[in-house]
Chain A
């Protein structure tokens, strides 16, 4: 079945550091790819999506580019802030069902 792999379980950075969270997927079809962010006590929030190879999704300074050849959708941000501390989920949707990765907890120190 379809799956999403996030290799980093936790990432610890200082403010203004560059962020990369890796996401690789496995799907039989041509899925849409998503990033969601979850803050404590809340449900995951949609961050952005991409549906085609080489398409870039972005929101709030975060971005990721759909790479069909590498089956990747890595999340990046040039300069993180303490308020970015949260759990980030990569997800895919190939049919109707949405499959999530295991999440990456980002902790940003001032």
Chain B
């Protein structure tokens, strides 16, 4: 069991560039969650999928953030026209059941210069 895999571990972009973050959930898990972590805001919920269907994206900034789950083995979080305030650690987690014990990846640290 390799756990949740997130790539890349670190990403540096210039202001206005696009960033795509990848997540491979644990095999057999039916739900995938995305969170953003900063010192100031802590762990912020962004969005989640269950059985590949988007369920709740209430935490996503509407204009520049989007998430997809094209198959059960990976999900992507895309940030268009990145801004310095997008700098954060983006965490992906998967869950096997509706009891929602989350298993997190190590995160992707995004730095927008």
Contact = CB atoms under 8 A, between A and B. Distances in A.
Interface of A: 32, 34, 36, 41-46, 49, 51, 89, 93, 96-103
A42 B91 CA distance: 10
Contact of A89 (B4, B43, B100, B107): B43
Contact of B99 (A42, A43, A51, A101): A51
Contacts of A43: 4, 91, 93, 104-107
B56 interface: yes
Contact of A96 (B42, B43, B48): B48
B113 interface: no
A102 B55 CA distance: 24
Chain B binding surface, main DSSP class: strand
A96 B30 CA distance: 12
B112 interface: no
Interface in B7-44: 31, 33, 35, 42-43
Interface of B: 4, 31, 33, 35, 42-43, 45, 48, 50, 55-56, 91, 93, 98-107
Contact of B104 (A45, A49, A97): A45
**The 7 A-B residue pairs with the shortest CB-CB distance in the complex, in nearest-first order:** A43-B104, A93-B100, A100-B43, A102-B42, A44-B104, A43-B91, A46-B101
A98 B100 contact: yes
B56 A96 contact: yes
Nearest to B41: A102
Given A43-B106, A96-B56, A103 B33 contact: no
Nearest to A41: B106
Nearest to B89: A43
A64 B31 CA distance: 26
B23 to A, nearest CB: 11
Given A98-B33, A102-B42, A46 B102 contact: yes
